[in-house]
Amino acid sequence: MTTDTTPTANPAAEVAIAAARAIDDKKGEDITILEVGPILGITELFVITSAPNSRLVRSIVDEVEEQVFVLFERRPLRIEGLNDRQWVLMDYGDVIVHVFADEARRFYEIERLYKDVPRVEWQPVADAG
């Protein structure tokens, strides 16, 4: 599944890629999709990004929520961390979106914890055509 992002390949991957594209639209930084399902079992994919300030963290969260709803009619099961805006977690069940403030991302180094899992390839909308 790692690089197969065709529309029928995996519904969770479609949601993750839509989230990544929404993040890219709002200028999120270093967007990564990790296939964590085989080792976690509670979710399939992580989408990870960061932003230089709390206002942009909130803007990214809002855009992901809107775009995933528009495309898939799905709302997050829960959103945590929105008050502090240092590490916002958007839980869609099969996809978890992590939106970090830059400093928090450097501190937690979440990608380091999952360095051996496959990454899902994706393209921003402008590059996907």
Question: What are 16-55's pLDDT values in tens digits?
Answer: 999 999 999 999 999 999 999 999 999 999 999 999 999 9
Q: Assign 3-state DSSP to the chain and report helix, strand, coil percentages, each to 5.
A: 40, 25, 35
Residue ranges of domains in the chain: 11-121
Q: Return the CATH architecture of domain 11-121.
A: 2-Layer Sandwich (3.30)
* Cα angle, residue 110 at apex, residues 106 and 115 outer, rounded to 5°: 115
Contact present, 55 and 69 (Cβ < 8 Å): no
Three-state DSSP class for 23?
A: helix
Query: In the structure encoding, which two tokens stand for residue 120, read together?
Result: 């899902």
Question: Model's pTM, two decimal places?
Answer: 0.90
